[in-house]
Chain A
């Protein structure tokens, strides 16, 4: 199927709305969360209208249907990242919970005082704070691969850190601020040579790039449905089977057990061992539909469209006097343009462009250390997805000129 952005936009009800009378929405905040196609909304509604029942253990018709739909969604998500088997995909609330799951189970069982975890300076708070909490509790040491001025990881520094026998290397597949696509396969290979386990925060890379966990040889991969056309409240953790099987359970409760007695329990097999309580069933089904949608377009086509978008956006933004865009050149990044406008706070930029319908984010985007590194409290961030248009970049640029006029 050839890529037709105008045709696929018809699947997204929000993209066709006005934010106020006569002002069409220009949604440039997909890095925060994406809009949802009608196919995802219908899959969830269909579940609630026709098949709603709790999953597993029920033997009645609806329970069987619901269980089938939930487990098929898991299979779809597993295929999407080329996992060897669907039992290696655990449903969580989001990428944040997936990372916390690894921190609470694998890391607490395997790491001790003085052990080294390597992170990077461009991590989202979700891949910083769980490790800081672990560091406080267990005395593990955190070191950070520095970010260069052009928004790339400093590989010399990474090599030096790897010589210190790290136990875990956890890093983002794509920065949610700089857009930097990290060379994940190479970083994982180097980490494995150093004897470390690897975790990729795929919250931005899985939605925007073809990701193959077997080609990457990733030990863990965390991602969220809502950043890839799916609903909020559901995400996934992929893990290598031997690791998942050896890990203690995460939350305790129903479904994660084989048997329970008054004083003890026997944990269930993977993936159920990590899914205590009634999960987000409708959301999992919506996640499956989102993955179907992306696969029908093709992730290569998605990535190519975003490359076009960011190339055009960077061209237009750097033309504007006073605008400074952070991060690497278009060929090394995904569809994220974070920028500052001289003399104007990012909040004011975002507020003024909102008046012509342009939705951009202003703040530190849950990456405060990265902003500190660049010596700025906040940036304005425009981000793109498969439904973005060059015309929308033009509207943003018009908006920035209006900001300049008001503050001029």
Chain B
């Protein structure tokens, strides 16, 4: 379990660095995982060059979904929208540094789905965004 619940996950769950809501913002999207009630909202500010200058997430759910959202926001600050569009499942798994089964993978990928639906300006998120 030390493996699965690596210190960074529990630490980010208890002490998130990027929890909050940006108002005004340039990109705003939220969605949930109906299976477990996890919810993630993401707000970003983007400069004239299309680079993310600030980001926040809010929501509730398990340690995996919330800590991966916090790590994701940290990783996208300074990235361009085009770079975010290239991100996938592996980026999240690398950040968490753990292996996940199919059920928990959905928790881990919720924030990336929300982020990508937001940057693409889609009405809804989907699993296809993070494959």
A interface vs B, CB < 8 Å? 344-348, 351-352, 355, 362-364, 377-378, 402, 406-407
Which residues does chain A contribute within 8 Å of B61, judged by CB atoms? 345, 347
Determine which of B35, B37, B64 lies in contact with A348 in the assembled complex, contact meaning CB atoms within 8 Å: B64
A347 near B1: Cβ-Cβ < 8 Å: no
Confirm or deny: B79 has a beta carbon within 8 angstroms of a beta carbon on chain A.
Answer: no
The CA-CA distance from A282 to B2 in the complex, in Å, is: 43
- Max count, chain B CB within 10 A of own CB: residue among A345, A363, A364: A345
Determine which of B5, B10, B14, B36 lies in contact with A345 in the assembled complex, contact meaning CB atoms within 8 Å: B36
Chain B, range 22-37, C-beta contacts under 8 Å to A: 35-37
Which residues does chain A contribute within 8 Å of B63, judged by CB atoms? 344-345, 348, 407
B10 near A406: Cβ-Cβ < 8 Å: yes
Determine which of B13, B36, B64 lies in contact with A363 in the assembled complex, contact meaning CB atoms within 8 Å: B36
The chain A residue with its CB closest to the CB of B61 is A345
Confirm or deny: B89 has a beta carbon within 8 angstroms of a beta carbon on chain A.
Answer: no
Confirm or deny: B40 has a beta carbon within 8 angstroms of a beta carbon on chain A.
Answer: no
A362 near B36: Cβ-Cβ < 8 Å: yes
- Max count, chain B CB within 10 A of own CB: residue among A348, A362, A363, A378: A348
Which residues does chain B contribute within 8 Å of A355, judged by CB atoms? 1, 4
Which residues does chain B contribute within 8 Å of A351, judged by CB atoms? 1, 4-5, 64, 104
A346 near B1: Cβ-Cβ < 8 Å: no
B5 near A406: Cβ-Cβ < 8 Å: yes
Q: A345-B38, A364-B36 are in contact. List 10 more A-B contacts (CB 8 A).
A: A344-B63, A345-B36, A347-B61, A348-B5, A351-B64, A355-B4, A363-B35, A377-B36, A377-B37, A402-B1
Confirm or deny: B122 has a beta carbon within 8 angstroms of a beta carbon on chain A.
Answer: no
The chain A residue with its CB closest to the CB of B37 is A377
Confirm or deny: B52 has a beta carbon within 8 angstroms of a beta carbon on chain A.
Answer: no
Top 7 A-B pairs, shortest CB-CB distance: A377-B37, A345-B62, A355-B1, A347-B62, A348-B63, A348-B62, A378-B36
Task: Return A372 CB to nearest CB of chain B, in Å.
Answer: 10
Task: Return B39 CB to nearest CB of chain A, in Å.
Answer: 9
The CA-CA distance from A378 to B32 in the complex, in Å, is: 13
The CA-CA distance from A377 to B61 in the complex, in Å, is: 9
Task: Return B94 CB to nearest CB of chain A, in Å.
Answer: 20
The CA-CA distance from A370 to B37 in the complex, in Å, is: 14
The chain A residue with its CB closest to the CB of B1 is A355
Interchain Cβ contacts under 8 Å between A and B, 15 examples: A345-B61, A346-B36, A346-B62, A347-B61, A347-B62, A348-B62, A348-B63, A351-B104, A352-B4, A355-B1, A355-B4, A363-B35, A364-B36, A407-B13, A407-B63
Determine which of B5, B37, B38 lies in contact with A352 in the assembled complex, contact meaning CB atoms within 8 Å: B5
The chain A residue with its CB closest to the CB of B32 is A377
Confirm or deny: B107 has a beta carbon within 8 angstroms of a beta carbon on chain A.
Answer: yes
B104 near A347: Cβ-Cβ < 8 Å: yes
The CA-CA distance from A348 to B35 in the complex, in Å, is: 14
The CA-CA distance from A364 to B34 in the complex, in Å, is: 9
The CA-CA distance from A352 to B14 in the complex, in Å, is: 16
Which residues does chain A contribute within 8 Å of B35, judged by CB atoms? 363-364
Given contacts A406-B10, A407-B10, contact A347 B5 (CB under 8 A): no
Which residues does chain B contribute within 8 Å of A407, judged by CB atoms? 10, 13-14, 63
Task: Return B56 CB to nearest CB of chain A, in Å.
Answer: 21
Chain B 56-85: CB-based contact to A (< 8 A → 1; otherwise 0)? 000001111000000000000000000000
The CA-CA distance from A347 to B64 in the complex, in Å, is: 9
Which residues does chain B contribute within 8 Å of A348, judged by CB atoms? 5, 62-64
B1 near A352: Cβ-Cβ < 8 Å: yes
The CA-CA distance from A355 to B2 in the complex, in Å, is: 9
Which residues does chain A contribute within 8 Å of B104, judged by CB atoms? 347, 351
The CA-CA distance from A344 to B61 in the complex, in Å, is: 9
Task: Return A78 CB to nearest CB of chain B, in Å.
Answer: 37
